[in-house]
């Protein structure tokens, strides 16, 4: 098996991966991802004890125990570009011998659970609810750099979204792990997400810069397929689903719906709904 070069996978002198600053013994097989570094301590405050704390750039991570289960919570920052770093380096921590710089013979599958926030796009959909994404369409362009073969449902939804928004732009769609989706959808709504490349123009907002797609929200909310409609929009889920599938990990995203873009509404209690998301997810994670 070929040795991975120093420039392809950078390992620090202390044996930690370059961006996350983590060593293999410092993560659990269950990984919770959040966008905001400050939310890491909110999640880990529920742990029985914290074993490791690391913070490098926007990547803050805490690993601890809850109900006898070893869990890592890590902040990804915003966007699929950061997800590309986080998922590849988490995989390297468990599936590459960092000293020998070779892929291990035995593959370790992580459970990767995103706890995020999102905006709904279907008119009349109630905010302050939790949403589990079955599918996530990538509108960021991240997926163009990887070789991924979509199944029939993924291909249909990706084409439906692309034809509505920018026909000449290819879209790629990724699925959540079905077992995890079933577990975390017990008390949450199910839907499909659109993962945008940014917060303003790529989500149909225009402050001063002119936007390319007129009627963005109307077009996206009108998309329909055998897998259902696009229910919400955010900036990370497709990256997590896609890389998890490519690298052999199980992933699911549970998002707190803080806004309804079509209705122009925003939650009056965002902190409360995010806390309820964390409590709900951790209760289920302990029993995975």
From 165-174, 248-257, 278-287, the region with the lowest mean pLDDT: 165-174
**Residue 159 placed within a domain:** yes
165 pLDDT higher than 90: no
| CA dist., res. 25 & res. 28, Å (int) | 8
pLDDT of residue 1: 63
Strands 49-56 and 59-66: antiparallel
Please count the structural domains in the chain.
1
Contacts of residue 155, Cβ cutoff 8 Å, sequence gap at least 6: 173
Contacts of residue 240, Cβ cutoff 8 Å, sequence gap at least 6: 33, 83, 87, 112, 114, 136, 251, 253
Residue 170 banded pLDDT, cuts 50, 70, 90: confident
**Residue 110 placed within a domain:** yes
**Residue 228 placed within a domain:** yes
pLDDT of residue 275: 96
pLDDT of residue 242: 97
**Residue 275 placed within a domain:** yes
The pLDDT tens digits of the residues spanning 61-109 come to 999 999 999 999 999 999 999 999 999 999 999 999 999 999 999 999 9
The pLDDT tens digits of the residues spanning 42-60 come to 999 999 999 999 999 999 9
The parent domain of residue 132 ranges over 24-285
pLDDT of residue 271: 95
| CA dist., res. 118 & res. 84, Å (int) | 20
Rounded to two decimals, the pTM is: 0.95
Mean pLDDT of 116-125: 96
Mean pLDDT of 211-238: 92
Cα atoms in the 13 Å half-sphere on the side-chain side of 158: 25
**Residue 2 placed within a domain:** no
**Residue 108 placed within a domain:** yes
The better pLDDT of the pair 279, 162 is held by 279
Q: Is 77 left (phi over 0), alpha (psi -120 to 50) or beta?
A: left
**Residue 203 placed within a domain:** yes
| CA dist., res. 70 & res. 152, Å (int) | 36
252 pLDDT higher than 90: yes
pLDDT of residue 198: 93
| CA dist., res. 278 & res. 14, Å (int) | 32
Average pLDDT, the chain: 94
**Residue 120 placed within a domain:** yes
List the structure tokens of 240. Answer: 């997590």
CATH label of the domain that carries residue 57 = 3.40.50.1580
Mean pLDDT of 117-122: 96
pLDDT of residue 68: 95
Cα atoms in the 13 Å half-sphere on the side-chain side of 93: 26
Q: What CA dihedral angle connects 268, 253, 39 and 284, to 10 degrees?
A: 100
33 pLDDT higher than 90: yes
Mean pLDDT of 120-128: 95
Residue 197 banded pLDDT, cuts 50, 70, 90: very high
List the structure tokens of 230. Answer: 């696009």
Q: Give me the percent of the chain exceeding a pLDDT of 90.
A: 89
């Amino acid at each position: 098996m070929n040795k991975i070069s120093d420039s392809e996978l950078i390992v620090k002198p202390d044996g930690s991966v370059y961006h996350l600053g983590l060593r293999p013994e410092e993560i659990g097989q269950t990984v919770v991802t959040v966008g905001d570094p400050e939310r890491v301590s909110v999640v880990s405050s529920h742990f029985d004890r914290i074993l490791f704390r690391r913070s490098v750039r926007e990547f803050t991570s805490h690993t601890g125990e809850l109900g006898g289960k070893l869990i890592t919570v890590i902040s990804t920052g915003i966007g699929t570009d950061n997800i590309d770093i986080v998922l590849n380096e988490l995989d390297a921590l468990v599936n590459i011998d960092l000293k020998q710089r070779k892929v291990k013979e035995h593959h370790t599958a992580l459970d990767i659970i995103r706890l995020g926030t999102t905006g709904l796009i279907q008119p009349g959909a109630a905010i302050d609810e939790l949403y589990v994404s079955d599918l996530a369409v990538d509108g960021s362009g991240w997926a163009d750099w990887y070789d991924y073969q979509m199944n029939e449902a993924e291909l249909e939804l990706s084409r439906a979204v692309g034809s509505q928004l920018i026909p000449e732009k290819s879209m790629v769609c990724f699925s959540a792990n079905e077992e995890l989706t079933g577990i975390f959808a017990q008390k949450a709504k199910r839907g499909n997400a659109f993962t945008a490349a940014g917060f303003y123009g790529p989500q149909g907002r225009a402050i001063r810069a002119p936007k390319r797609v007129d009627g963005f929200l109307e077009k996206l909310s009108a998309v329909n397929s055998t897998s259902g409609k696009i229910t919400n929009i955010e900036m990370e889920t497709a990256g997590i689903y896609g890389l998890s599938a490519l690298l052999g990990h199980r992933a699911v995203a549970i998002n707190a719906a803080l806004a309804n873009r079509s209705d122009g509404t925003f939650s009056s209690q965002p902190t409360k709904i995010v806390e309820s998301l964390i409590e709900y997810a951790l209760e289920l994670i302990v029993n995975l």
